[in-house]
Amino acid sequence: MSKPIKVLIVDDSAVVRQVLTTIFSADPQLEVIGAAADPILAQEKMALEWPDVIVLDVEMPRMDGITFLKKIMAERPTRVLICSTLTENGAATTMQALAAGAVGYVTKPKLGLKTFLSDSAAELIRDVKQAALATPRDFGRVASPGVATARPVHSVPGLSMAESSNKIVAIGTSTGGTQALEILLTALPRVCAGIVIVQHMPEKFTALFAERLNGLCAIEVREARNGDRVSIGRALIAPGGMHMRLVRSGAFFAVEVFDGPPVNRHKPSVDVLFRSVATVSRDNAMGIIMTGMGDDGARGLREMHDAGAQTVAQDEASCVVFGMPKEAIRHGAVDRVVPLDRIASEVIGFRH
C-alpha cells in the first residue's frame, strides 16, 4: 500500500480547521499532519515534517496566504491548494495565488461555511488527491498580477488587426493552465490567428483572469460574450459556469456562450469547444491541449484531428499535471507533443 498523502491545513478559522481535519482524516489515503491558525505556526510544523499538500487560506493574521505561498515556492516548491471565498475579491486573490504557483483552489461561501464543507467532503478529498499528483513549480519569473511587461510587438505578413480570423486556434486546459496560458499568450505577437480558450474555472474567476492577461499580452484577451467575433489578435476565454462553442456567422467565425449540463464534470468543457471547432472550422483549425487533470478534451481533439485540424499537446515535462494531454495522446488525437515554451511558435506558424 502506498504511503498516505500528508496534508497540512492553514486557516485562521477554528471551524474550518476542525471540519477539514475530520473530513481528511476519514480517508485512509490522507494523513493530516497538522492544522495551523496562521503561516507562522505552519512554518513551525513544517520544520518538523514537510507536507505533500497544503490547504491554505489567503486572509490570515501575521502573514497573508499569498506572501506565505511565494515564500514556500521560492524555498521548496510544494503542492498548495488555495482556499478562498467565492467572491470577486476572493477570485482576484486566487488569480495571484495561481500565478505564484498554487496548483489549485477550493472555493468556500461566506455564510453557512460548516455545512458547505461537510456537504463538499467528497469533492474536497478528491481535490487534495488530485493536487498530490501535480508537479509544483515556482512561477515567480512570470510577471506579477496587474503589471504589464514591455514586450516587442511583432507583425505577421498578410494579417492585420480587427479582421475576422479564418484560422482558429482552440486551446483547452485545466490544472496548471492559468500559468501555462500566461506563458503562451504573452509570447504571441500582436497579430496572430484568432484564439478560443476553455480553462476550467468557476464563475467570477474567468473575467478577472482574462483582464489580468489582457494587461500582460500584446494580443487582446477577454472573457467571451455570446456572439463575439473571433478576430485576428484576439483570444476569447469561455466564462466560468457556461459552455462555449464555435459557430459560423456569415463570412466569419463567432462564439456562442450557453448554459447546459456539465460535460466530463466541467462547465465550460473543452470537449464542447473542440467538437464545435471540428464541425465548423475543420482543417482551418489548430487544437492545443495543455496541462490538466482528467480527460476533458481528448475525444474532442480526436474529432478535430479526424476533421483535418492540426493538433498539439503539451509535453509531460512542462505540465503541472500530465492528465489531459496524456489522454489525448492515448486517443490518437495528437500530431505533435511539444514543451510549453514552444507552443507559441506553433501558434505563430499556423498561417498560410
- Let me know if 271 is a catalytic residue: no
Task: Note whether residue 146 is domain-resident.
Answer: no
Query: Among residues 73, 173, 53, which one has the least CA distance to residue 125?
Result: 53
Please classify residue 250 by burial: count the beta carbons closer than 10 Å to its beta carbon, then call 0-12 exposed, 13-18 middle and 19+ buried. Answer: exposed
Q: Do residues 81 and 208 share a domain?
A: no
Task: Note whether residue 87 is domain-resident.
Answer: yes
Residue-level pLDDT at 251: 85
Question: pLDDT of 37-68, one tens digit each?
Answer: 999 999 999 999 999 999 999 888 888 889 99
Question: pLDDT of 294-331, one tens digit each?
Answer: 999 999 999 999 999 999 999 999 999 999 999 999 99
Q: Show which of 78, 112, 132 is a domain's final residue.
A: 132
Question: pLDDT of 222-271, one tens digit each?
Answer: 999 999 999 999 999 999 999 999 999 888 999 999 999 999 999 999 99
Do 42 and 62 meet the contact criterion of CB atoms below 8 Å apart?
no
Helix (H, G, I), strand (E, B) or coil at 74: helix
Full domain range(s) for residue 236: 168-348
- Let me know if 200 is a catalytic residue: yes
The pLDDT of 71-85, averaged and rounded, is: 91
Do 186 and 214 meet the contact criterion of CB atoms below 8 Å apart?
no
Q: Show which of 85, 115, 132 is a domain's final residue.
A: 132
The pLDDT of 59-79, averaged and rounded, is: 91
Residue-level pLDDT at 231: 95
Task: Note whether residue 176 is domain-resident.
Answer: yes
| DSSP assignment letter at 23 | H
- Rounded CA-CA distance 176/322 in Å is 10
- The H or E element spanning position 83 is strand 79-85
Amino acid at 325: P
Question: What pTM value is reported for the model?
Answer: 0.86
Query: Among residues 185, 168, 246, which one has the least CA distance to residue 221?
Result: 185
* % pLDDT > 90, the chain: 73
Q: Do residues 128 and 199 share a domain?
A: no
Helix (H, G, I), strand (E, B) or coil at 109: coil
In angstroms, the Cα distances linking 256 to 189, 253, 272, 304, 323 are 26, 10, 11, 18, 27
Residue 162 in this model has a pLDDT that exceeds 60: no
35 — phi, psi (to 5°)? -140, 120
Residue-level pLDDT at 138: 61
Q: Do residues 14 and 120 share a domain?
A: yes
Residue-level pLDDT at 144: 36
**Residue 127 belongs to domain with CATH number:** 3.40.50.2300
Bigger pLDDT: 164 or 55? Answer: 55
12 — phi, psi (to 5°)? -80, -5
- Which of the residues 174, 231, 276, 318 is marked catalytic? 174
Residue-level pLDDT at 86: 61
Bigger pLDDT: 87 or 144? Answer: 87
**Residue 277 belongs to domain with CATH number:** 3.40.50.180
Do 297 and 271 meet the contact criterion of CB atoms below 8 Å apart?
yes
Q: Do residues 112 and 174 share a domain?
A: no
Q: Show which of 79, 110, 132 is a domain's final residue.
A: 132
Q: Collect all residues with Cβ–Cβ distance below 8 Å to 63 and sequence separation of at least 6.
A: 38, 39, 40
Q: Please report how many Cα atoms fall inside a 13 Å half-sphere around the Cα of residue 301, on the Cβ side.
A: 33
Task: Note whether residue 145 is domain-resident.
Answer: no
Q: Grid cell 488527491 — which residue?
A: 129
The per-type count for the chain, helices as H runs and strands as E runs, is 12, 14
Partnered with residue 56 across adjacent β-strands are 10, 82
The pairing of beta strand 252-258 with beta strand 243-249? antiparallel
Question: pLDDT of 103-160, one tens digit each?
Answer: 988 877 777 878 888 888 998 999 999 999 998 876 554 433 333 333 434 444 444 4
In angstroms, the Cα distances linking 71 to 50, 64, 92 are 14, 11, 19
In angstroms, the Cα distances linking 97 to 78, 80, 101, 291, 340 are 13, 9, 6, 17, 20
Residue-level pLDDT at 142: 41
Helix (H, G, I), strand (E, B) or coil at 6: strand
* % pLDDT > 70, the chain: 91
Partnered with residue 246 across adjacent β-strands are 255
| Number of domains within the chain | 2
Residue-level pLDDT at 30: 97
Residue-level pLDDT at 197: 98
Residue-level pLDDT at 116: 84
- The H or E element spanning position 222 is strand 220-223
- Rounded CA-CA distance 104/102 in Å is 6
- Let me know if 295 is a catalytic residue: no
225 — phi, psi (to 5°)? -115, 150
- Which of the residues 52, 281, 296, 318 is marked catalytic? 296
* Residue 89's pLDDT band (cuts 50, 70, 90): confident
152 — phi, psi (to 5°)? -65, 140
Do 185 and 219 meet the contact criterion of CB atoms below 8 Å apart?
yes
Residue-level pLDDT at 342: 97
